[in-house]
């Protein structure tokens, strides 16, 4: 052990829960007064130790394969970049929590002269959260995300483009979209380009990143899907792989949807088509 350095080791085994383990481990780290805390990296520890270290004001490293005390400083070694680079470093932070490979834990403890300390789970009892009630954080409006709906209606950035008269029609587009989803009881999806568009935010208040479908969004599982004003390239289509029947409306007959990614492609103006559909739905 390094001169003036206190090293303790906790071997936390068995089953536990995140809610109980985080405050218990944090309290154990603080109560130990150690400069360096070693833990065996089983699934229970790896689940809770990072949050516990944060609560205890400690630094933490996981998947460590070796620890050595050199000139009064702890030197840690671990693999990075998919085990292609072997690194060696130290930290000035105290306490420093190091989670080692379970098979190497006893060896590292003996090598560093760590003091084995019993872990007390009861430390979490006084910090458990009590739920006094639940308050809805929503705006009170109707949810546009309906996992049980038979139809998914997805709007793309084309709804915000200039129309035949050379002007944009944000309010009309918003009314058409919400009108259809309400009448057809459809779930609403969106492309990333639309929800990221600040100029359309005021009109499309019913839409957020929670509605985003695709490579960087959700992967819904509705029976049918209708995409409008989306280009249909891979970032859009990847989120549709579990939709059984796919249809789309696009003015471009050579759009991505038309390359075998949709069952039916309507080459038409989505504004006109959806306006007529809303009329027919009453």
7-127 folds as Rossmann fold (3.40.50)
In DSSP terms, which residues pair with 243 in a beta bridge? none
Over the chain, what is the mean pLDDT?
89
Give, rounded to a whole angstrom, the gap between the first and last alpha carbons of the chain: 80
Q: Is 216 left (phi over 0), alpha (psi -120 to 50) or beta?
A: alpha
151-281 folds as Rossmann fold (3.40.50)
Global pTM? 0.52
Give residues with Cβ within 8 angstroms of 272, minimum separation 6.
Answer: none
Write out pLDDT tens, residues 130-187.
777 766 554 445 689 999 999 999 999 999 999 888 899 999 999 999 999 999 999 9
Domain regions of the chain by residue span: 7-127, 151-281
């Amino acid at each position: 052990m390094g001169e003036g350095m206190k090293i303790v080791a906790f071997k936390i085994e068995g089953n536990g829960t995140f809610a109980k383990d985080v405050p218990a481990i944090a309290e154990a780290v603080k109560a130990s007064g150690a400069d360096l805390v070693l833990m065996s990296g089983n699934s229970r520890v790896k689940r809770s130790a990072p949050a516990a270290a944060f609560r205890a004001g400690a630094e933490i490293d996981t998947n460590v394969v070796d620890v050595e005390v050199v000139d009064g400083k702890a030197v840690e070694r671990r693999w990075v970049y998919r085990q292609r680079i072997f690194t060696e470093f130290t930290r000035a932070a105290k306490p420093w929590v190091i989670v080692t490979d379970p098979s190497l834990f006893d060896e590292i403890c003996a090598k560093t002269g760590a003091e084995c300390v019993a872990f007390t789970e009861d430390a979490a009892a006084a910090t458990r959260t009590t739920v006094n009630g639940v308050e809805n954080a929503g705006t009170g409006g109707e949810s546009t995300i309906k996992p049980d709906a038979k139809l998914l209606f997805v709007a793309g950035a084309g709804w915000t483009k200039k129309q035949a008269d050379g002007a944009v029609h944000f309010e009309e587009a918003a009314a058409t979209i919400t009108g259809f989803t309400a009448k057809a009881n459809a779930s609403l999806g969106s492309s990333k380009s639309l929800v990221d568009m600040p100029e359309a935010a005021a009109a499309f208040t019913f839409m957020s990143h929670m509605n985003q479908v695709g490579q960087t969004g959700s992967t819904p599982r509705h029976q049918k899907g209708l995409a409008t004003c989306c280009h249909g390239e891979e970032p859009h289509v990847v989120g549709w792989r579990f939709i059984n029947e796919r249809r789309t409306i696009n003015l471009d007959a050579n759009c991505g949807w038309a390359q075998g990614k949709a069952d039916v492609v309507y080459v038409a103006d989505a504004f006109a088509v959806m306006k007529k559909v809303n009329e027919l739905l009453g």
